[in-house]
């Protein structure tokens, strides 16, 4: 989906704005499509679809305007390379596939393993940061209900730490342990949040 921004001269003077505008044009078209069945104005009453369509149209015109301006403007290129896109597509595929057959916890576990195994490769494609952060957040979503806060925070910290180029495994595990204890103390004991500290299935047995 990204990455390096380089100067480029071509048909479009400012590709960064051009693609940005294009993104919003697509969003506007999507909204117009998604609201196609909603009723519009009936008599003098505005319907459920009127206002969303009005703003989607404004958004579309504005996006086209930005794209038109960018053709004459000057700006950096945004490079959408094949390598990172394929890597993201592959990881998404693995995630969706395992999720379908084995549930979210295992799917995230597989993703974590895949990401750690291809750490150097991801760094070379310069998508290491976003990938590890995204998987760490997915891990939080997948683990919190079934595994409890302690394990979840540990996973969130341990996985997200690998996003940094300055990653130090031992330090990050210690930090993950510390933060897991800290969050149980703060959010469950002190702030009484309705979250289980440990896997609920273990506690009920």
Partner 1 sequence: MTDIFANLIFGLSIAITPTNIVLCLVGALAGTLVGVLPGIGPLATIAMLLPITFGLPPVGALIMLSGVFYGAMYGGSTTAILVNIPGEAASVVTTLDGFEMAKQGRAGSALAIAAIGSFFAGCVATVLIALLAGPLTQFAFFFGPAEYFALMTLGLVMAIVLANGPISKSTLMILAGIVFSMVSADVDTGEGRMTFGRYELSDGFGFIVVAMGVFGFAEIIKNVLQSSTRQLIAERITNLMPTRRDFAEAVPAIARGTILGSLLGILPGGGAILSSFASYTLEKKLSKTPERFGKGAIEGVAGPESANNAAAQTSFIPLLTLGIPANAVMALMVGAMTLHGIAPGPQVATKQPDLFWGLIASMWVGNLMLLVINLPLIGIWVRLLRVPYRLLYPMILVFCCIGVYSLNTSTFEIMLALAFGLFGYWLYKHDFEPAPLLLGFILGPMMEENLRKAMSLARGDLLEIMTRPLTGVLLASAAILLVVAILPAVRKQRETVFVE
Can you state the percent helix, strand and coil of the chain, rounding each to 5? 70, 5, 25
87, 1 contact by CB (below 8 A): no
Q: Is residue 21 near partner 1 by the rule CB under 8 A?
A: yes
CA 50 to chain centre: 31
Residue of 96, 89, 86, 136 whose CA lies nearest to 112: 136
- The residues in 71-110 that bind partner 1, with binding defined as CB under 8 A, are 75, 78
**Applying CB under 8 A, which of residues 114, 125, 142, 147 lies at the interface with partner 1?**
142
**Applying CB under 8 A, which of residues 113, 137, 185, 202 lies at the interface with partner 1?**
137
Closest to partner 1 by CB, 93 or 178 = 178
Closest to partner 1 by CB, 66 or 114 = 66
- How many binding residues for partner 1 (CB under 8 A)? 74
Q: Is residue 183 near partner 1 by the rule CB under 8 A?
A: yes
**Applying CB under 8 A, which of residues 81, 118, 130, 199 lies at the interface with partner 1?**
130
Stretch that binds partner 1, among 22-30, 92-100, 113-121, 197-205 (CB under 8 A): 22-30
Stretch that binds partner 1, among 94-102, 112-120, 158-166, 197-205 (CB under 8 A): 158-166
Closest to partner 1 by CB, 110 or 123 = 123
If one counts every other C-beta atom within 10 angstroms of the C-beta of residue 145, the result is: 14
Give SS3 for 58.
helix
Q: What are the CA-CA distances from residue 166 to residues 87, 163, 173 (Å)?
A: 22, 9, 14
Q: Is residue 144 near partner 1 by the rule CB under 8 A?
A: yes
Give the list of residues 6+ apart from residue 151 with CB closer than 8 angstroms, or none: 143, 180, 198, 199
Rounded least distance, CB 100 to partner 1, Å: 16
């Amino acid at each position: 989906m990204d990455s390096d921004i380089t100067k480029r001269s071509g048909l479009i003077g400012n590709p960064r704005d051009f693609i940005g505008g294009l993104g919003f044009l697509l969003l506007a078209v999507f909204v117009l499509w998604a609201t196609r069945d909603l009723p519009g104005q009936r008599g003098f009453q505005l319907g459920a679809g009127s206002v969303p369509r009005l703003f989607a149209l404004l958004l579309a015109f504005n996006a086209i305007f930005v794209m038109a301006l960018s053709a004459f403007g000057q700006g950096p290129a945004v490079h959408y390379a094949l390598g990172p896109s394929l890597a993201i597509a592959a990881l998404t595929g693995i995630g969706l596939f395992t999720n379908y057959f084995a549930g979210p916890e295992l799917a995230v576990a597989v993703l974590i393993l895949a990401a750690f195994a291809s750490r150097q490769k991801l760094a070379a494609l310069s998508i290491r940061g976003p990938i590890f952060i995204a998987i760490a957040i997915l891990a939080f979503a997948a683990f919190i209900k079934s595994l409890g806060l302690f394990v979840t925070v540990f996973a969130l910290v341990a996985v997200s730490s690998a996003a940094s180029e300055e990653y130090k495994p031992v330090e990050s595990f210690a930090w993950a342990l510390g933060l897991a204890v800290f969050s149980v103390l703060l959010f469950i004991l002190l702030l009484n949040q309705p979250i289980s500290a440990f896997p609920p299935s273990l506690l009920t047995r």
